Amino acid sequence: MLETVSAPTGSAQNAQLSQRALGALGKLPPFSPILNKLLASLAGEDVSFAKLGDLIEKDTVVAGNILHLVNSALYARRATITSVRHALALLGMDKVRNTLLGMSISRMWSQVKTPPVWSMARFNRHSASVAVLSDQIASKVRADYPEGAFVAGLLHDLGRLLIALGLPDEFTRLVKLHEQSERSWTECELELLGFTHAELSAMALATWDFPEPVQIAVRDHHRPPAFPAGGIVPLSALVGAANQYINSTGESIVAGKLVTVEDAGAIAALGIPEENLGKLLADFKAEHAAMAAFFR
């Protein structure tokens, strides 16, 4: 049991605020049968392509997106793939899970009514970018729980959405404080709320029964543990490095204080040689370009 993914400690008022924010989970649409099957596969349950194919074929939008992806320039197929089950077999469970989680969650959350200062489009683009890059990094380093890299990247900022939904007035004050001060977003959260979006994200994932390594990665992505050179990279460090890079490109959730000078230093610090870093980022950009249309 992940003890530290309980409600953040602090004053009674802070605890009340965290519970109100967590209660905003009820404002999000429920997961579809497809998503529930995909999450079961992430938790190690055996999910057959046949059953998953049956579910996907019943959702014409999802089926169309899967076929569009498998036939995209990213995979350079000689012949057009027209069968969902054939597409699933070619892509593999991990790629199918990642793609469907991203596009389905993005589509679900775009229906949610949010305060004026929140941009769901920016949130979806940022989350998808961090997810794709986290997954790319996980394939290049010795990562802890690499199968969870995409979903941890996708949901690392879920707490920010819950704060915007459950505490709209406080979220507006957060945006103003962040814009008018030199403090980081998490420092502003601690000052105004007494807890961080990362802690809240982990609490939400615990409520949804996500695997514990994903909860930990999301909770700690702003303060990952140290690890020895050449050792296994904690998933939190991997997601944190991806998040830093994506923010450095200007693909951030809050439009203020945009930075547009790409900085891959945090990724390089994970142990990726400089000569391999360029290819990793090129692969990320190619995959992101192929999948960008699904995350709106």
- Parts of the chain belonging to CATH 1.10.3210.10: 9-28+116-296
* CATH entry, 9-28+116-296, from 3.30.930.10, 3.40.50.10490, 1.10.3210.10, 3.40.50.1360: 1.10.3210.10
Q: Which of 5-9, 161-165, 192-196, 234-238 has the lowest mean pLDDT?
A: 5-9
Statement: residue 110 has pLDDT above 70? yes
Mean pLDDT computed over 94-123:
85
Cα(98)–Cα(120) distance, integer angstroms: 20
Q: Give the pLDDT of residue 167.
A: 96
Task: Decide: 37 and 27 in contact? Cβ < 8 Å.
Answer: no
Segment 254-291, tens digit of pLDDT = 766 555 677 899 999 999 988 899 999 999 998 888 77
Nearest to 189 by CA among 223, 231, 159, 156: 159
Q: Give the pLDDT of residue 1.
A: 45
Helices (H), the chain: 12-22, 33-42, 49-57, 60-70, 84-91, 93-109, 120-138, 149-155, 158-166, 168-180, 185-192, 197-207, 212-219, 235-248, 265-268, 274-291
Question: What is the band of 73 on the pLDDT scale with cuts at 50, 70, 90?
Answer: confident
Place of tokens 């997106």: 65
Q: Give the pLDDT of residue 2.
A: 54
Percent of the chain residues past pLDDT 70, beyond the cut: 92
